[in-house]
Structures are given as C-alpha cells and as structure tokens.
A = this chain, B = another copy of it.
C-alpha cells in the first residue's frame, strides 16, 4: 500500500509556514509499515489541487490531504475532492448539528460561513473524530481513497491516529499491530552507538522483527527506536520490552529515558525519589539550566532556585569563588558548593565556560567546566563542546544534568543539607 501526502496552502508555497504536518504524518505511516514515496505541496488553487490529487491517485493507492477544510474562501479542498470524485456536494445535517454544537459549547454564535464545512461530496464519509469545526473526510475514488484532514496540527493528529491509520491498515490488509518505543541516549556519538549495536542489529535482520533505528536529535541526544510487529497489543508490548532489556544491557546508563521523557524530567523524578532539593549557579548558561528544569510541571517539588552569576564579582561576593580565572575547575567547584549553601539545597549544579563568539581568558570557544555538589562532596568536569553559542550553552545544560543523573543512579543513602 503506497500513500502520498499532499499539504495544501498558499502559505506553504510562500515559505511563511514550514510544513511540519507532512513530516509527522510521514513518520506515522513509516511506523505503521506503509510506504510513502512522494509528498506534494500545492497552493489554494482549484486546478492545481485537482491535478495533484489525480496524479497522486495514479501513482498510489491512497492519498492524505492536509489543509483547506476551513470556512473561508481560500478553503477549497472539499470542492477539489468533489471534482475528482465526479460528485455533487450535499449539506450533511448531522455535521450541521455538530458544528453548531461546537459554537454553542463555547457560548458563541455560528457564523454563516461555517455551514460550508458541513458540505460533503456524495460518496464521502466524515471522519468520526472532529475536535474542531472542520470535519475530516474519507473519499473513495475508484480503487483508491483520499483522506482529507484539517491543517490545524492537533485536529489533524487526532484524525490520523483515530481513524486514518486504522482504515489504511485495514485496506492494506495489515492485520498486525505495529508499535515502537524510543530509548533516549546521551553520551555516545552515533558511530559509537552503531558499533555497539552492530551485532544485535545483524541478529535482528534475520527475522526483521523487531527492528532498531537511530535518530540523531542534536541537543536532545540520539534516539534508538525499537519497532515491533505482532498479532496483539500484548504480544507487541512483550517484544518491545524484551528488546528494550537487551539494548539497555548493551548501552548501560547512556539510556536516560523512554519515549516522551526528557533529561530534565528524568532528573526531577530521580531527585523527587531521593527527596533531594536542587539549586543552580549559572555563568555560561545564564539561566538556561533553570529554565529547562522549570519547564517541567512539578519542578517546584525539588527545585529551590538558582543564581545567575554573570558578572565575575557576583561569583566572588555571592558564591565565595576565589579570585582567578573564571573559566576553570576551581570556579565551577566553588559555584556549585556556594549556591548549595546560599540557597540551602541538597544538591548544587554549576556552569562556567566560553560560549563565544570570541575566546575568553585565552580559552577556546566551547571550553566549559561543570560541577556538581551533593552534600559536602563536589566534583567537576571539563567539557570541550562544538557548535555555535546556542549549541554550546544547550550542550552544557544537558551535560551537567546528565552528570547529576548518573550520580543519582549510584547513590542510595544521601547526605542532606542542614535543616
């Protein structure tokens, strides 16, 4: 079963919007074992939309169209579909009622325009999910099918996950359940990960189930995705868990999380489990470490706060850093220990270094020191980071968080700050 994605919207052709919808849909198709050989973007133009749909149906069995289902003059996907199907549009009373209800539930009156959204080509079926006012459509055309979903990402995702993928798999005769689980890693380069996993990947190649794939994700580390296929959810879950265990046995604690977990959410959970509170002292990162930690709801359970000591005299006055080079292990150590005491926390983290664009104190751009104080024990590490200013700062943040994570995994009995 081959499926083409057509994204609709003149804003895409003008470069005002980046088409991330197509990438998301493409990923879902790949995970479901369906082929997608082409993606097309076309403007809000009747003739070009019709020719794009026809071409897509010639070279594929299925088409997913995304966008152009709104209530304005520009939104002509349903007209283009009626043209391709050779059908008339008919107002669907059930949809009129549902759209009206959407407005009533928000206490608003329905503008007349929105009635247009209830017009369905003869032979098409509305998609059951309808989180907004735009109904999705399933349109059979000869032996093929076109699914139309709105361009609003949350609405699109609900329809694809809820109806379109299931319908596609039924048509393709894919009875199997396909699921994936992503292990998130930090610390190895992609080439090193590949080397470590070569033997396992070769062993898996024999059966092709499950499979392993790497996805480099920049400052988010490298993801190892396990995809498995089986007759039931339970069996798929078992395959995934078995493979996860094998991969973790190979990669050890470079695996920091699974699926939606982030480095900061994992660290917050570990701190919470250990009943440890956290404080940060930032120079290089200027607040970014605190910002990433507090991006996680519930961070206040463990995070007391931080000092951004950007001016060097603040490092000395507030944190007890001795005079001398600020891009140094000594400075990082005193910052971590100092902020732990100053803000009365169990754990102190510190960053200092050269983010660029120019060198500092004769140290090259990318020279970074991070330090970690737990109770009276303090350790520091020098990192030599590549990339631009933004990347160096982000890598320093994830580097120190990872250092804390690995430290928290090794301790069970923890010295605590004085009450």
Contact = CB atoms under 8 A, between A and B. Distances in A.
Given A286-B290, A293-B286, A309-B305, A15 B19 contact: no
Interface string A263-298: 000000000000000001010011111110111010
**Range for the number of chain A residues in contact with chain B:** 35 or more
Contacts of A39: 12-13, 40-41
Interface in A391-419: 393
Q: Which one of A314, A356, A393 has the highest number of Cβ atoms from chain B below 10 Å of its Cβ?
A: A314
Determine chain A's interface SS by DSSP, over half rule: mixed
A138 B43 CA distance: 27
Interface in A17-63: 17-20, 22-30, 36-43, 45, 48, 52, 55
A41 B38 contact: yes
Contact of A15 (B26, B285, B290, B358): B26
A26 B52 contact: no
A357 interface: yes
A305 B283 CA distance: 8
A37 B48 contact: yes
Kindly report how many copies of this chain are found in the complex they form together: 2
A288 B291 contact: yes
Given A12-B23, A27-B14, A41-B39, A310 B294 contact: yes
B295 A390 contact: yes
Q: Which one of A30, A42, A306 has the highest number of Cβ atoms from chain B below 10 Å of its Cβ?
A: A306
A299 B287 CA distance: 13
A369 interface: no
Nearest to A285: B291
Interface in A171-197: none
